[in-house]
Amino acid sequence: MAVQTIDLTRGLPGGATTSPLADAFARPITYLRVSVTDRCNLRCTYCMPEAGLPWIPKAEILSFEEIERIVAAAAAAGVRSIRLTGGEPLVRRDLASLVRALAAIPGIDDISLSTNGLLLAEHVAELRDAGLRRVNISLDTLHADRFETIARRPGLERVLAGIDAATAAGLVPIKLNCVIMRGVNDDELLDFAELTRDRALYVRFIEMMPVVENAGEQTDRYVSAAEMLARIGEREGLEPVAGPGGNGPARYFAFPGALGAVGVISPLSHDYCDTCNRVRLTADGRLRLCLFGDYHIDLRTPVRAGASRDELEALFRGGMLIKPERHHLQLGEAGSRMRAFSEIGG
């Protein structure tokens, strides 16, 4: 089904309200993922073609001021946590200024960042000082040659330096997102899990999802979360543990005495739609109500037309009426084209 834009600008009451933001299934919506760009400095094989994607024209990308206005309306409606994503968010210049502006919005309690880590070390101090609290870092292999094969770009040492810099800056807990692919990097499951013994790292293994870019190989590459945990647990038993906080959908397990934990994110084998608490703002100003859904709400047009905060808040609240109960991903069936595979991790 083609993506459709829903017009909620008519027939909704204006004015702020004090009722919590919730969808039609009584799920509180407190978490907004904000994509600041569709561009990326990697070309991961499971995420996008080597030549890249048809990039959104610059004039259609929201400015930082427009993002700030939309987030202020979201906060008034009840959103409390913001995650900045892309593409790769750090390719957008002066991201710290946006973090600073969002941190000053009343009601926003937490700002985090999802990144591939290539540019993190050089920006981490200014981001922390601006108000960034936590980072998620995508890393699919611990081998430099394999990194270049998967990402089609070199950079493992830069990512590892970014992890160390984020740790030193106190942006913890650090979550590492690893997309597991059979025959590609599934032999590194134990190596990644071992990282959690002596460092407060939370390694989250993500099932490979069926999207346009990997439709031809997804069935053969797919490894279920249950298989991942079983293979890790063969060395030493894993025990369920509480997560490190944040808004993500992972289930966590730990080795006895480990400082960190292993998580699994399983949109196919064990979806988490019943506890979904998030919506996503795309770089060009569309409010997506489900990462894999077919509908979105155009917020760029009203914000550029001078919509007030109350009017934008009403659009957020109206959008909750059409947020779907769940996605319908199926193994081997291509879902939506994604601008960032790690969007799924919270």
Residue 337: per-residue pLDDT: 45
Give the contacts of 216 (CB within 8 A, at least 6 positions apart): none
CATH for 4-344 is 3.20.20.70
Give the contacts of 88 (CB within 8 A, at least 6 positions apart): 37, 39, 40, 41, 42, 115, 116, 118, 119, 340
Tens of pLDDT, residue by residue, the chain (346 residues): 344 444 444 434 344 445 789 888 888 999 999 999 999 999 988 888 887 788 999 999 999 999 999 999 999 999 999 999 999 999 999 999 999 999 999 999 999 999 999 999 999 999 999 999 999 999 999 999 999 999 999 999 999 999 999 999 999 889 999 999 999 999 999 999 999 999 999 999 998 876 555 455 667 889 999 999 999 998 888 999 998 876 667 899 999 999 999 999 876 655 567 778 889 999 999 999 887 666 789 999 999 999 999 999 999 999 888 887 776 555 444 444 444 444 555 5
Q: If residue 207 lies in a helix (H) or strand (E), which one and from where to where?
A: strand 201-207
Give SS3 for 41: coil
Residue 118: per-residue pLDDT: 97
Residue 47: per-residue pLDDT: 82
Query: Other CB atoms closer than 10 Å to residue 76's CB: what's the count?
Result: 21
The DSSP line for 224-289 is -HHHHHHHHHTTS--EEE---SSS---EEEE-TT-SSEEEEE-TTTS--GGG--EEEE-TTSEEES
